[in-house]
Amino acid sequence: MALPEVTTVVMPEHGKYDFVRYLTAKKSVDDRALNRRVWQTLREALFAVPTDSALRVLEVGGGIGTMIERMLDWGLLPGDAEITMIDAHPENIIEASRRLPTWAIMNGFSVHEEAGGSIRLFRGRQEVRVVLEACDLFDFIARERGRTAWHLILAHAFMDLMNISETLSLLASLAVRYGLLYFSINFDGVTALEPATRQDLDGQIELLYHRTMDERLTAGRPSGDSHSGRRLFEHVRALGARILDAGGSDWVVFSRGGAYPHDEAYFLHFIVQTIHSALKGSPQLSMADLDEWAARRHEQIDRGELVYIAHQLDLAAQLNTR
Ligand SMILES: C[S@@+](CC[C@H](N)C(=O)[O-])C[C@H]1O[C@@H](n2cnc3c(N)ncnc32)[C@H](O)[C@@H]1O
């Protein structure tokens, strides 16, 4: 589930929560969740792309670059590639520029950081050039349309924040003729937190939280909805694209022996805080009940009891092949 682009949220009882750390903590949750069959379908399609030069990949809303690490780690790219990753928030790009070279060296790449800010990675016969840019997607599209065309355009935990039909057709305008699209971790209507606090209240909070997604406006335009995953099918088909594969990529977060893996307790606190802040001021809820709910949820995390499930979908498609 993509969360709105807050950079920091303040949690009175738990100090300050930081978006970069949240994205870092999210990596292991996403690693478990991503649909491996959809990934493999995309990989096969990429290996079939006829290119005499490097494959051009564009990632939008890439955060701190964890998907670039995953593409390299999980062997998504058939050979040489040029990856451009943009994100609206400079602090995310700064963190991506900091962590990618370190990650690459630890994973057997030689790293060459170029004067203009791009990073070249070499391993075996593969060379991957990465360009990271702090830029709003719509400014980027306005600048690049007609100048560059990408073989693969991807967005991870992002499309459910956007006006999907508008964003999709703009993104498609940046692709090569039979370009590939990959949209992963698209929220699809279910948030489950167990065990219950108060059953009537838990259900109401889920309902109202999803409603905040349905009613979200960015620059006065509807952006995202609580069933983005399933709605992607019709939007992608309306583009004239063929869906190559789709499948579930639910987040399932639980402790083992009372301890959450990696930094996933932080991830959970951040999720609870996000729901709490989204519903602050809601006329349909008592604020005392909401505060009490959030306090119970944070305590459940501290005790290793909370189980969190968010239903999401991944989808891979190819343009102009319908
Ligand atoms: C939920 S985060 C996901 C980040 C990353 N894909 C990940 O999963 O780790 C959504 C990201 O989209 C970025 N974003 C939101 N609106 C954007 C826009 N209009 N242009 C570029 N990036 C945007 C935010 O800064 C944020 O990093």
pLDDT digits (tens, 9 = 90+) for 45-65: 999 999 888 999 999 999 999
Q: Which atom of ligand 1 is the closest one to the Cα of 135?
A: 21
The tokens describing 206, both together, are 């889920």
Residue 88 alpha carbon to ligand 1 centre in Å: 7
Of the candidates 210, 243, 211, 254, the residue with the CA atom closest to the CA atom of residue 313: 243
Quickly tell me which residue has 């780690």 as its tokens: 73
Beta-sheet pairing, 175-194 with 150-156? parallel
Residue 302 alpha carbon to ligand 1 centre in Å: 28
Instruction: Find the length of the chain.
Output: 322
The reply to whether ligand 1 has any atom less than 6 angstroms from the CB of 159 is: no
Residue 218's pLDDT is 85
The reply to whether ligand 1 has any atom less than 6 angstroms from the CB of 62 is: yes
Q: Which atom of ligand 1 is the closest one to the Cα of 156?
A: 6
Amino acid at 227: H
Contact between 198 and 130 under an 8 Å Cβ cutoff? The reply is no
Contact between 96 and 132 under an 8 Å Cβ cutoff? The reply is yes
Mean of per-residue pLDDT scores for the chain: 94
Q: Which atom of ligand 1 is the closest one to the Cα of 19?
A: 27
Q: Which atom of ligand 1 is the closest one to the Cα of 136?
A: 20
The reply to whether ligand 1 has any atom less than 6 angstroms from the CB of 224 is: no
Residue 2's pLDDT is 67
Beta-sheet pairing, 242-248 with 307-318? antiparallel
Residue 219's pLDDT is 82
The reply to whether ligand 1 has any atom less than 6 angstroms from the CB of 160 is: no
Contact between 219 and 164 under an 8 Å Cβ cutoff? The reply is no
The reply to whether ligand 1 has any atom less than 6 angstroms from the CB of 139 is: no
Out of 19, 99, 158, mutate this one to test ligand 1's pocket (max ligand atoms within 8 Å of CB): namely 158
Residue 260 alpha carbon to ligand 1 centre in Å: 25
Residue 298 alpha carbon to ligand 1 centre in Å: 25
The reply to whether ligand 1 has any atom less than 6 angstroms from the CB of 88 is: yes
Q: Is 10 helix (H, G, I), strand (E, B) or coil?
A: strand
Q: How far is CA 108 from the centre of its chain?
A: 26
Residue 27 alpha carbon to ligand 1 centre in Å: 14
Amino acid at 84: T
Residue 237 alpha carbon to ligand 1 centre in Å: 24
Residue 35's pLDDT is 99
The reply to whether ligand 1 has any atom less than 6 angstroms from the CB of 235 is: no
Contact between 217 and 281 under an 8 Å Cβ cutoff? The reply is no
Q: Which atom of ligand 1 is the closest one to the Cα of 5?
A: 24
Residue nearest ligand 1's atom 7 by CA: 63
Residues near 195 by beta carbon (within 8 Å), at least 6 away in sequence: 300, 305, 307
Cβ neighbours of 269 (radius 10 Å): 23
**Residue numbers in the chain where pLDDT is lower than 70:** 1-15, 322
Separation of alpha carbons 36 and 34, rounded Å:
6
